[in-house]
Chain A
Amino acid sequence: MSTSGIDMGGHDETTAPPALFANRLKVYAKAVQGPVRRIKWALLVVMLGVYYILPWIRWDRGPGRPDQALLLDLEGRRGYFFDLEIWPDEIYYLAGLLIFGAVLLFLVTSLYGRLWCGYACPQTVWTDLFMWVERKIEGDRAERIRRDKAALSFDKAWRKVAKHGAWVLIAAATGGAWIMYYRDAPTVTMEILTGQASATVYSMFALFTITTYTLAGWAREQVCTYMCPWPRFQAAMLDDQTVTVTYQAWRGEPRGKYRKGESFDLRGDCVDCTQCVQVCPTGIDIRDGIQLECINCGLCVDACNNVMDKLHRPSALITWDTFANQAALAKGEPPRHMKIIRPRTLIYAGLIVVLGAVMMTAMLTRTRVDATVIRDRAPLFVTLSDGSIRNGYTLKITNRRPEGSDFAVVVDGPEGLIATVHTPDGRELPADSVEVRGDTQGALRMFIAMPRKAIPEEQTPINVHIRNLTTGEEASVATVFVAPPSGGDRTQRTNSVAPVQMP
């Protein structure tokens, strides 16, 4: 990051003494009209609308269950996404979604540059909103600069107070809406407003309010240039076929001030009006070429097109284009079409297809029953009075459905095997209808006994099958049955007793 990036000309660096820390050069972004700006406003309204409305959508899941369409219930440890219900051990769906989103971002970036940064990133969206408020209250660029320079007056004071007040209100609405994704929206709203909410809710509320206020109100472009890791490595996704906001230097240079009536024949189209610099939310000069700070928002495109219109010059002096085409045009060669199919786009698209397929398969084949079997380590086995060997197991049946179900437990193993299922406190249950309450994991005891003659080896593999009798969903778990070494003493625990000498 260079200070020259936010330097607006006239500042000679050769005379600047080296300082370790630099003051922030405040960016006074100017308002701009044009198609790009309109698209950005439309997107802003849609995205903020989605953000604020989503938690209020209701979704009937039956009695006793949350009726919020989108809810991350941290205390109940469930994630609800419309008809989808995620348990903590299914968090890989979320991980999959994030990876999917990341690769999608790579693909979009390699095709169209930092579309995400300029149009969809929350930092951009909220900053845009905050700047709009700022302009409504403090006026546009020139007025703001003038007022900031002027001494404190009543006019200055009330505008500053009003601006920060409005910012805090928006920030609070933002922070409040965030909580609603984690708690029932109507309930938590009432609680917050009436002072009934928990300390956790209030501190989260405060945290998200403060961060929104500081990041969108004060830090703005500094988040993008200093804090965000994305601009540091997004360049790795770009190549000379990527469409980015670019200044057509071959057409604009040599630039210079324009006097009315002057011919454009011997000079470039850029009239050095610095409109493109004044509207830039990160305060840079796109005419310096592609820069880390540029978020590809395209506002400079609108600004310059307005200038070109007035001068009756062709538009798109600043435009979206590939490096390859720009290089060709600069050399006077015919235009080059953007190559959409390139090794990197193919790889990203392929990854997206594979990831999507994997996630779809995982989604469609997932069952709502799970079982684990943990074999007791102490005792490894028990000898019963009839000489048969018995192993103890902890059997956990996870019933992810909201309603309770009966499960059949069937154990596959050598003939003669007897399996019984018990409650943790020892009551025996019928193995063909083990009840597990809905939305819980039932912990049960299972004993498997085999007559000694029926045991094939010291460690016999067995399979435990669980079937939901209502839905037919199944789960199978492999485990082992452990017996004393054959040929040893029948009662392994007495092996160590040395015979007492006969008198």
Chain B
Amino acid sequence: MPTKIEKDTATGRMTTGHEWDGIKELNTPLPKWWLWVFYACIAFSAVWVVLYPGIPLGTTYFKGVLGYSTRVEHAENLAAVEAGRADILAKIRSTDVSDILKDPETATYAVAGGRVAFAENCAACHAAGGAGQAGYPALGDDDWLWGGDIHAIRQTLLHGIRSATDADTRTSQMPAFGEILDRNQIQTVATYVLSLSGAADPAPAVKTEGAQIFADNCASCHGETGQGGRDFGAPNLADQVWLYGGSLDQVAAQVAQPRHGVMPNWGGRLDDATINMLAVYVHSLGGGE
């Protein structure tokens, strides 16, 4: 409350009558237009509150006279984006995957789209960026169980591996040699297999015996030299990439009780354009053939 309005001797100006700790405030009025700008802001906000949503009413809220909603706007934006994408998606859907690669613009779009679809659907098993993890192949390396050209990749995506819900799925099975060979034989053949890629250097006798067991039991699928067979997804045993581990114990375990990975068939779940984009993306990761 103003206490005593008086004239300040030093400046000759009036005070506001306010005093704090002996300090008196000079009356320096604000310009009136300043006040009007303030009123105008209040008026503006009043109009705004009527036009746009913002007042809570218990469980609902006042929708505003314009009926504006960010949700509706978002849906409209999404629809516009969808419409904008329709052309290129139609092209990706109807073009043979190897032809997509020939057109840089479409291919670049497909890689970007594939990256998103991959993160959503594939990364759970194959890890981000196709890094792979134990039992789930890395997709960026140059080792392919069922083939790494773009058609083979698309085929795998479409029908899956050992998928119970797709008649055309890729399938193969390795017998459990734990019931066929004895413990020693399994150790011997595992050692031999490791020597194929230079990871082990067994004694000549072990090598000869291992080679014999291999020729009798494994070569029919994995090939004479262990180079694998893509027709039935038999891994290349002469390279340095191991799906279930490359230690002697791990290889021996796989011989005795093989595990078989399963990949769902994505054909029914994702539309053709997405499958094609995924194929292009996986092919672009660095190992595509």
Contact = CB atoms under 8 A, between A and B. Distances in A.
A376 B200 CA distance: 32
Contacts, number: 183
B141 A14 contact: no
A18 B24 CA distance: 14
B111 A425 contact: yes
Interface stretch (A115-123, A148-156, A247-255, A379-387): A379-387
Interface in A440-462: 445, 447
B140 interface: yes
A499 interface: yes
Nearest to A1: B28
Nearest to B259: A500
A223 to B, nearest CB: 11
A426 B284 contact: yes
Contacts of B127: 378-379
Interface string A287-329: 0000000000000000000000000000000000000000000
A445 B280 CA distance: 15
Contact of B131 (A2, A219, A390, A493): A493
A22 B16 CA distance: 14
A424 B284 contact: yes
A489 B247 contact: yes
A494 B245 contact: yes
Interface in A331-390: 376-380, 382-387, 390
B223 interface: no
Interface in A482-503: 489-491, 493-497, 499-503
Given A378-B128, A386-B239, A426-B284, A493 B140 contact: no
B191 interface: no
Contacts of B243: 494
B259 to A, nearest CB: 8
B186 A385 contact: no
A423 B104 contact: yes
Describe A's contact surface by its main secondary structure.
Answer: loop
B253 A502 contact: yes
B257 interface: yes
Interface stretch (B31-39, B68-76, B83-91, B166-174): B31-39
B29 interface: yes
A386 B244 contact: no
A392 interface: yes
Nearest to B136: A493
B135 A497 contact: yes
Interface string A140-164: 0000000000000000000000000
A376 B285 CA distance: 11
Given A20-B29, A384-B142, A490-B240, 4 more contacts: A425-B101, A493-B133, A494-B250, A502-B253
Interface of B: 2, 5, 7, 11-17, 27-35, 101, 104, 107-108, 110-111, 127-135, 138, 140-143, 178-179, 183, 186, 197, 199, 236, 239-247, 249-250, 252-254, 256-257, 259, 280, 283-288
22 contacts: A2-B28, A13-B13, A13-B14, A14-B7, A18-B5, A19-B27, A20-B29, A22-B31, A384-B142, A385-B240, A422-B284, A424-B111, A425-B107, A426-B283, A426-B286, A489-B246, A490-B242, A491-B241, A493-B138, A496-B133, A500-B253, A503-B178
